[in-house]
Amino acid sequence: MYKMSHFTEKDRYKIIAFMKENSFAIITGFGEPYPVATHIPLEVIVKQHGKIILSGHLMKNTDHHKAFVKNDNVLVIFNGPHCYVSASWYNNPKSASTWNYMTVHAKGKIIFTDEDGTYAAIQAVTNKYEGIETAAAFNNMPKKYIVQMLKAIVGFTIEIETVDNVYKLSQNKTSQEQINIIAQLKNIGDENSVQIAYEMEKLSTANKLYGLI
């Protein structure tokens, strides 16, 4: 990934919070002849001593499932807001425009569960997003349907070994340029632009608080 010290978030708690807020992630692995990937909702669990565990479930006998069985090393990508930043907003517009974005890459080993673990994974994600009182709640699903579903799905956990991130928020620009970029992004007004502007403002406020600018 694009590693620059001034674009790297050092606060582990903020990184974990970002992963939880953007938990519909991409799991990638080693396939044949190409890499494989799947887009999937994940639970982000922090264990004792800060160990991060990801959990979820996926369909059996897909290209990614078969690849993960053969090679359990995976990369999980958590994507956040992103937007175009025009050089016309800089003090010197005759320079390169860019893209601001936030992402976290987590590497680890995927471990597939038994049927009980798969049942628990499906129940957890359904309860989280559906709740427990609607007609589509997990507890309202017919037992026969759940048994059939378990034949085609497998639960998993991923024990995270390394976490990297890029929080590219114009940290390499002057304070005045950052103020102008924020204003321009707010004026554009789409969700990603506004969110990046908000993240830039939070970073600027934190830096002032700690005397970094």
Region 5-171: CATH code: 2.30.110.10
The single-letter code of the amino acid at 108 is G
What percent of the chain has pLDDT above 90? Answer: 92
**Distance (Å, whole) CA 169 – CA 166:** 9
Question: How much is the average pLDDT of 62-73?
Answer: 97
Mean pLDDT of 87-115: 97
Confidence of residue 211 (pLDDT cuts 50, 70, 90): low
In this prediction, residues 50-63 reach a mean pLDDT of: 96
Token pair of 142, please? 């017919």
The pLDDT tens digits of the residues spanning 119-130 come to 999 999 999 999
Helix, strand or coil, per DSSP, at residue 5: helix
pLDDT per residue over 128-184, tens digit each? 999 999 999 999 999 999 999 999 999 999 999 999 999 999 999 999 999 999 999
Could you give the CA distance from residue 183 to residue 193 in angstroms, rounded to a whole number?
A: 10
pTM score, whole prediction: 0.92
Mean pLDDT confidence for 89-114: 97
Per-residue pLDDT at 111: 98
Is the per-residue pLDDT at 206 higher than 80?
no
Spell 21-33 as b/e; 16+ CB within 10 A means b: ebbebebbbebee
pLDDT for res 58: 97
d(CA 123, CA 31): 29
- What is the pLDDT confidence band of residue 106, given thresholds at 50, 70 and 90? very high
Q: Which pLDDT score, from 0 to 100, does residue 28 have?
A: 98
Q: d(Cα 77, Cα 23) in Å, to the nearest integer?
A: 9
The pLDDT of residue 209 is: 47
Q: Output Rg (C-alpha) for the chain, integer angstroms.
A: 21
Q: Please, where are the H alpha helices in the chain? A: 12-21, 63-70, 115-130, 143-152, 175-188, 191-209
Torsion of CA 180, 182, 186, 187, to 10 degrees: 20
pLDDT at 204: 81
Instruction: Tally the C-alpha atoms within 13 A of residue 203's C-alpha that lie toward its C-beta.
Output: 25
Domain boundaries, the chain: 5-171
Q: What is the pLDDT of residue 210?
A: 47
Residues 82/99, Cβ–Cβ less than 8 Å: yes
